[in-house]
Amino acid sequence: MPNWGGGAKCAACEKTVYHAEEIQCNSRSFHKTCFICMSCRKGLDSTTVAAHESEIYCKSCYGKKYGPKGYGYGQGAGALSSDPGQDADLQPQDSKPRPASSNPTTNKFSQKFGGSDRCPRCSKAVYAAEKVMGAGKPWHKTCFRCALCGKSLESTTVTDKDGELYCKVCYAKNFGPKGFGLGNAAMLEEQQ
Domains 22-66 and 131-175 are alike in CATH topology: yes
**Span 54-82, mean pLDDT?**
68
At 21 the pLDDT is: 84
Q: What is the pLDDT of residue 104?
A: 45
Taking the C-alpha atoms of residue 55 and residue 39, their distance in angstroms, rounded to an integer, is 10
In this structure, are residues 136 and 117 in contact, taking their beta carbons and an 8 Å threshold?
no
For the segment 15-26, the average pLDDT, to the nearest whole number, is 85
Segment holding 143, helix H or strand E: none
Do residues 111 and 100 make contact, with C-beta atoms less than 8 angstroms apart? yes
Domain boundaries, the chain: 22-66, 131-175
pTM for the model = 0.37
Q: What is the 3-state secondary structure (H, E, C) of 14-65?
A: CCEECHHHEEEECCEEEEHHHCECCCCCCECCCCCEEEECCEEEEHHHHHHH
Q: Residue 143, Cβ neighbours under 10 Å: how many?
A: 19
Q: Report CA-CA distances (Å) from 182 to 26, 173, 185, 190, 192.
A: 60, 10, 9, 14, 17
Helix (H, G, I), strand (E, B) or coil at 174: helix
Class level of CATH domain 131-175: mainly beta
Average pLDDT over residues 168-175: 88
pLDDT digits (tens, 9 = 90+) for 140-169: 889 999 999 999 888 788 888 888 899 989
* Mean confidence (pLDDT) of the chain: 74
Question: In this structure, are residues 12 and 97 in contact, taking their beta carbons and an 8 Å threshold?
Answer: yes
CATH number of 22-66: 2.10.110.10
The DSSP 8-state label assigned to residue 97 in this structure reads P
What is the rounded distance in angstroms from the CA atom of residue 155 to the CA atom of residue 135?
A: 10
Alpha helices for 130-176 (secondary structure H): 168-175
